[in-house]
Structure 1
Amino acid sequence: LLGKVNRLRDVAPSGLANALDNMLGWDTRTRIDQIAPTSFKSPAGTEHHIDYAAEAGPTVELRVQALFGLDSHPLVGTNRIPLVLSLTSPAGRPIQTTRNLPEFWRGSWRDVAKEMRGRYPKHNWPDAPWESVASLKTKKAQARNA
């Protein structure tokens, strides 16, 4: 890894990550990935980086439609810490942050959906998102694929 490197800054971050992975071994690396995955896979099938350095705790930013169909809150770690979900509009603008998705769906979702229907009428804003199919496509695109 180090070869002719004189300064740590000359080592690529990916090189350090690879060296650490090699030192840990497959079993340990697999266990770390189970406890603290690097990404969250949404019901829509999209992968989202988990920011463990975020001030609020492990945080994922994603479009709210990617979570449709999910009625339990995603958790990480051995203590099962809730991910902070930073939910965005179809344009990527922040609309809500939550540590309790089922409560959000049954609480402030109605107000959020009402406002978003006016701003983004081409997208799906169901009354019961936990029962809906996750999709980042417009209603028209979803109908074509149905």
Structure 2
Amino acid sequence: MMRRATAADLGAIVALLADDVLGAGREKPGDPAYDAAFAAIEADPNQLLAVVEEEGRIVGCLQLSFIPGLSRLGMWRGQIESVRIAASHRGAGLGRRMFEWAIAECRARGCGLVQLTTDKARPDALRFYESLGFKASHEGMKLGF
């Protein structure tokens, strides 16, 4: 069942974010910075942190950002980030169901497109997103501090 995340889900969400090679190097479960980040997300009506709960356990998460823009006649965009599925649930179609839900949420909010980024070190994720119809139409860049 997909639903809006609550503060009680935060530990499980961070554990999911840390449960892969890339996440293990950048996430710090238990760090109080996550509490402030969750509060900011929860307070922003253009943010939606969602989880998948099965049998009382958080097994998936993603964050949706609804972004207003001037280009394309003022079109809104949906941005999908922080997608994770518990290792025990990978390969069973949960990711596809999560994306179908997220895309429907973007449509319901009036978004004209949905976008995401994926790390180049995740070729399986890239293939998965392409299987959903996403196109690598732009080159993304980041500047970290």
Q: Same fold (TM over 0.5)?
A: no
Which has the larger strand fraction? 2
Sort the TM-score into its range (normalised by shorter chain).
under 0.3
Q: Give me the TM-score of the superposition, normalised by structure 2.
A: 0.27
